[in-house]
Amino acid sequence: MRHPADYYNPLTIILHWLIALIILGLIVLGFVMTRPSIDPSLQFSLFQWHKSFGILALLLAAIRFIHSLALVRVRPAAGMSPLEHRAAKMMHHALLVLAVGVPLAGWMVASVSPLEIPTFAFNLVVVPHLPVPKSDAAEAWWTMAHAVLAYSMLALVFLHSGAALYHHYRRHDDVLTRIFGGRRHPVKTSIREWRS
């Protein structure tokens, strides 16, 4: 069950930054590997790295998602209005869902493609295709969906990061520092406000 706390536990912090790093790397990789002028051999290799790290991102994001539902959540920072708190919650939920949804959409791209290129994660594990019909049209649709969701998530990451920096430099609260493990100034917030 959820337990309101004043700081994030180490697992949450590690998952947060690991997933953030992988997702940002995947978006950069995804952009580079889809440039029309890229060398075909390099492109193939980059696609396979993208799929390998995508599967890893899906695994970690699923753990993070379940963890966020079942375990610790922190109290909102002091001084946040109910509207700000609601916006923060919506942002966090959206990021948690997209962190799972974007790699799932990528898995669908590989699964519906008539090319049937295996997903051989890190050249170690064959990840089977999802049991879905294959067609060029389905591949094009899921490719578009994967890209739209990924770039939408990137936009949310910028907003999320901007909000954290705003809290740190303007509000001078510990919203940013506590995701780095800081707990020097535990935030005291009423249960009522936390639930709002």
Partner 1 sequence: MTRKTALFTALLFAVSFPQAGQSAVEVPSLAEVAGRYAITPGSSIAFSVGQVGGGGIKGKFGKFSGTFNLKAGDLAHSMVSFELKPESVMTGQDRIDAFLRSGAVFDSSQFETISFRSEHVEQTGPDSARITGTLTAKGRSMSESFDVTLTAWSGRMIAFNVSGRIFRSRYAMDVGTPIYSNVVQFDMMIKGERN
Choose which of 69, 117, 130, 140 interacts with partner 1 (CB under 8 A). Answer: 117
37 interacts with partner 1 by CB under 8 A: no
Rounded distance, CA 94 to CA 96, Å?
5
Question: Is the CB of 7 or the CB of 107 nearer to partner 1?
Answer: 107
Query: Contacting partner 1 (CB under 8 A), which of 1, 70, 115, 191?
Result: 115
Binders in 127-156 for partner 1, by CB under 8 A: 128
The helix/strand/coil state of 131 is: coil
Nearest-CA neighbor of 3 among 196, 192, 191? 191
Beta bridge partners of 74: 5
Burial of 59 (0-12, 13-18, 19+ CB in 10 A): middle
For partner 1, the binding residue among 41, 155, 172, 184 (CB under 8 A) is 41
Least distance (Å) between residue 90 CB and partner 1 = 40
Q: Which stretch binds partner 1 (CB under 8 A): 79-87, 93-101, 111-119, 148-156?
A: 111-119
Phi first, then psi: give them for residue 182, nearest 5 degrees: -70, 140
Q: Please report whether residue 40 would count as binding partner 1 according to CB under 8 A.
A: yes
- 31 sits in the region (left: phi over 0; alpha: psi -120 to 50; else beta) called alpha
Q: Where on the chain is the footprint of partner 1 (CB under 8 A)?
A: 39-41, 44-45, 48, 114-118, 120, 123, 126, 128
